[in-house]
Amino acid sequence: MKKEILIKFGKRVRDKRMELGFSQEELASRAGVHRTYIGMIERAEKNITLENIEKVSKALNLELSDFFRNFH
């Protein structure tokens, strides 16, 4: 069973990526990670590290505090 926090995080990444009009490939390029990694995050298949949370957040033009605002 997937952990709730991973599901919420993946949904937040996907929602913001779609809002910005980024493909998974574009977001991955901006974050310096592989395209399949973004897909795994969005599907809650990957327990993302703090370093990669920071990379993805920056690639989405968000401060970490903004990314996790109202995250419950």
Q: CB neighbours (10 Å) of residue 44?
A: 18
- CATH assignment at residue 48: 1.10.260.40
Distances in Å between the alpha carbon of 49 and those of 19, 21, 35, 54? 24, 25, 16, 9
What is the predicted pLDDT for the residue at 33? Answer: 97
**Closest listed residue to residue 62, CA positions, set 53, 71, 70:** 53
What is the predicted pLDDT for the residue at 37? Answer: 97
Domain that holds residue 56: 4-62
19 within domain boundaries: yes
Domain count, the chain: 1
What is the predicted pLDDT for the residue at 67? Answer: 82
What is the predicted pLDDT for the residue at 66? Answer: 83
Residues of the chain with pLDDT under 70: 1-2, 72
Half-sphere exposure of 54 (CA within 13 A, CB side): 3
71 within domain boundaries: no
11 within domain boundaries: yes
Length of the chain: 72
What is the predicted pLDDT for the residue at 70? Answer: 77
Residue carrying the six token digits 């993946």? 10
What is the predicted pLDDT for the residue at 48? Answer: 92
